[in-house]
Amino acid sequence: MSENKKRIVIVGGGIAGLSAGIYGKLAGYNVDIYEKNPVAGGECMGWNRKGCHIDNCIHWLTGTKKGTALRKVWETVGALDEHTEFADCDSFYTSIKGDSRVTLWKDLERTKSELLKLSPDDAMEIEKFIEYVKYAAECEIPAEKPMDAMGIMDYIHMGVSMADMPKVMKEYGSIDLEELSKRFKHPALKQLFTDYLPKEYVASSFLVSYASITSGNGEIPMGGSLAMVKRMVNQFLRLGGNLHCNAPVVRILIENKKAIGIEMADKEKVLADYIISSVDTMEMFDRLIGKKYMDAKWQSCYADNEKYPLFSAVQAAFVADKTAYDRKGTIFFDCSPFETGGRKVERISVKSYEYEPEFAPTGKIVIQVNIPQFDKEYLYWKGLTKEEYESRKKEAVKAIEERLQMQFPSLLGHMEFLDCWTPITYERYCNAYHGAYMGFITRKGVKSFRVKGLLKGVQNLYIASQWIMAPGGLPVAVTAGKFAVWRIACKDKRMIDYNN
């Protein structure tokens, strides 16, 4: 292949794969993306049921604030532009505990006022929390180049721009959310801090998440996940990329310690100068290249689900009359106990998509329930026969519907079931390891997982996946795609043309 016609083949058309494809075209390569599903997007997906739209992914999109490096990446890949509209949401979420109701508002001063009014005895911890959320707003994921490629000036600049983050890490980086909750006296505040993210999460991650909301760096693009994916696909195609859907790859071809192409399900072989794997990394190791390429770091993390747990969810979507459910945002509440995935459930959340009028017919809204599931629950679902699996799903839907109607009696007779999905759904559709829709959880006292996206002993194979840095998610995925091409372009002494 001639120098100016080098070819990149990307396995997987999720956010990381699309990002890599777009940056590959901007760097002047011929690029083909092979995606096993009928549409690109991976876990950043939405689908239609009974005239309604269900959104699977974006709870908030980190990197929406203009002027940030990550915002530039989202703009480059076409996910955002100057005309992008964002949902008019004024809160992060609300927790109900007993007779108390407490909200983390987008307006941080409003949150402070509400928390202090609820529990004056917790004033010291409340004041500290609010102050440190302001510090955490400085946190930005590196988006210009991989951290291992950063020089002294890059680190100096990062240190200056995030001067207060060490304070956050010192105060909240060595405790988990369960420990944070115990710093508060009021039961509703104790509950508040263990509702949104798993209690095993390091507390600093929660502060950074909330800070993205309060600072305007975590907005929700209108139209949801599928609409954003379509914009990225259009950008890739506009640049001349080739997207092959319904095209499962069965093997990455490696000869003489060098990746040379891929083999399709129909045995067709596609050769390329570079291969980027943008699938779930266990899928890559287990099937596409073989576990002999999995080094000790990957092995230790996958083998220890105590230190590196994974989480997924059982989710159910319903359509309701607006007159029967006029709440906004995400609400957590206690419920009478039931089991799903073998896990006892005593508290659930419901999210209203009232800000997306196109998601439901006039006078209706989509509401969605999320129940966390972990490695153990995945194994439960995986061990069921097809008949048992369908039966357990129906039982879960019935239990969820009953508890929604108990908490919000106005829903009785005014809601209809749309769909239910489980960790097995994520495994089936995305080949997600243990059904996880994000990477390894960052726990206290455990070194946060991060790798370069390269494999020792294999040339011309790069990893662009949310799995290369904990806790994964959309920001990691989109930057991983960029960084994979950045490494290739550096190797070939090419520039990425951002004006294309």
- Per residue in 444-460, pLDDT (tens digit) is 888 889 999 999 989 99
Task: Establish if 500 belongs to a structural domain.
Answer: no
Q: What pLDDT is stored for residue 378 in this prediction?
A: 97
Residue 234 and residue 212 share a domain: no
Within 8 A by CB and 6+ apart from 470, the residues are 308, 439, 440, 441, 442, 448, 449, 450
**CATH number, domain at 459?**
3.50.50.60
pTM here?
Answer: 0.96
Cα-only R_g, the chain? 23
Q: Could you write out the three-class secondary structure of 226-280?
A: HHHHHHHHHHHHHCCCEEECCCCEEEEEEECCEEEEEEECCCCEEECCEEEECCC
Residue 231 and residue 215 share a domain: no
Q: Is 287 helix (H, G, I), strand (E, B) or coil?
A: helix
pLDDT tier at 1, thresholds 50, 70, 90: very low
Cβ atoms of 191 and 97 within 8 Å: the answer is yes
pLDDT in tens, 90-113: 999 999 999 999 999 999 999 999
Task: Establish if 19 belongs to a structural domain.
Answer: yes
Given a cut of 80, whether residue 493 has pLDDT beyond it is yes
- The Cα 181–Cα 203 span in angstroms is 10
Residue 226 and residue 194 share a domain: no
Structure tokens of 52? 């309604």
Residue 405 and residue 358 share a domain: yes
> Residue for token digits 């689900």?
305
Structure tokens of 268? 């067709």
- The Cα 420–Cα 332 span in angstroms is 19
Amino acid at 392: R
> What is the average per-residue pLDDT within 360-364?
98
Q: Which of 290, 208, 244, 243 is nearest to 455 (CA)?
A: 290
Last residue of a domain, one of 193, 219, 245: 219
Given a cut of 80, whether residue 500 has pLDDT beyond it is no
Least confident among 186-190, 217-221, 409-413, 496-500: 496-500
pLDDT in tens, 312-345: 999 999 999 999 999 999 999 999 999 999 999 9
Amino acid at 124: M
List C-alpha distances in Å: 55 to 223, 348, 357, 476: 9, 18, 13, 20
Task: Establish if 107 belongs to a structural domain.
Answer: yes
Task: Establish if 90 belongs to a structural domain.
Answer: no
Q: How far is CA 295 from the centre of its chain?
A: 25
Given a cut of 70, whether residue 357 has pLDDT beyond it is yes
Within 8 A by CB and 6+ apart from 6, the residues are 29, 30, 273, 274, 492
pLDDT tier at 2, thresholds 50, 70, 90: very low
- The Cα 84–Cα 101 span in angstroms is 33
Report CA torsion sign: 115, 125, 446, 293.
positive
> What is the average per-residue pLDDT within 461-474?
95
Q: What pLDDT is stored for residue 151 in this prediction?
A: 84
Given a cut of 70, whether residue 403 has pLDDT beyond it is yes
User: What residue numbers bound the domain in which 273 lies?
Assistant: 3-81+222-305+447-491
> Residue for token digits 């997906």?
45
Q: What pLDDT is stored for residue 4 in this prediction?
A: 59
Cβ atoms of 80 and 222 within 8 Å: the answer is no
Residue 403 and residue 335 share a domain: yes
Last residue of a domain, one of 403, 435, 467: 435
Task: Establish if 499 belongs to a structural domain.
Answer: no
> Residue for token digits 């291992």?
148
Q: What pLDDT is stored for residue 59 in this prediction?
A: 93
Task: Establish if 146 belongs to a structural domain.
Answer: yes
Q: What pLDDT is stored for residue 177 in this prediction?
A: 96
- The Cα 175–Cα 193 span in angstroms is 12
> Within 13 Å, how many C-alpha atoms sit on residue 320's CB side?
27
Residue 487 and residue 415 share a domain: no
Residue 114 and residue 56 share a domain: no
Question: How many domains are there within the chain?
Answer: 3
pLDDT in tens, 228-256: 999 999 999 999 999 999 999 999 999 99
With a pLDDT cut of 70, the percent of the chain lying above it is 99
Task: Establish if 87 belongs to a structural domain.
Answer: no
Q: Is 102 helix (H, G, I), strand (E, B) or coil?
A: strand
- The Cα 470–Cα 205 span in angstroms is 11
pLDDT in tens, 188-197: 999 999 999 9
pLDDT in tens, 143-157: 998 988 888 887 778
pLDDT in tens, 109-135: 999 999 999 999 999 999 999 999 999
Q: How far is CA 165 from the centre of its chain?
A: 22
Please give the order of strands across the beta sheet that includes 364-374: 100-105, 91-97, 330-340, 343-352, 364-374, 311-321, 415-421
Given a cut of 60, whether residue 21 has pLDDT beyond it is yes
Q: What average pLDDT is seen over the chain?
A: 95
Residue 452 and residue 474 share a domain: yes
Supply the DSSP symbol for 193. T
Residues making up the chain, counted from first to last? 500
Q: What pLDDT is stored for residue 399 in this prediction?
A: 98
> What is the average per-residue pLDDT within 29-45?
97
Residue 425 and residue 315 share a domain: yes
Residue 209 and residue 154 share a domain: yes
Query: How buried is 137 (Cβ within 10 angstroms: 0-12 exposed, 13-18 middle, 19+ buried)?
Result: buried
- The Cα 484–Cα 454 span in angstroms is 9
Residues 294-311 as b/e (b if ≥16 CB within 10 A, e otherwise) read beeebeebbeebeebbbb
Q: What pLDDT is stored for residue 445 in this prediction?
A: 84
Enumerate helices (H) and strands (E) in the chain, giving the number of each: 16, 19
Last residue of a domain, one of 168, 192, 219: 219
Q: Which of 333, 86, 83 is nearest to 192 (CA)?
A: 333
Task: Establish if 441 belongs to a structural domain.
Answer: no
Q: Which of 126, 130, 92 is nearest to 109 (CA)?
A: 130
Residue 376 and residue 355 share a domain: yes
Residue 118 and residue 193 share a domain: yes
Within 8 A by CB and 6+ apart from 80, the residues are 64, 71, 74, 221
* Other CB atoms within 10 A of residue 164 CB: 14
Least confident among 31-35, 148-152, 291-295, 315-319: 148-152
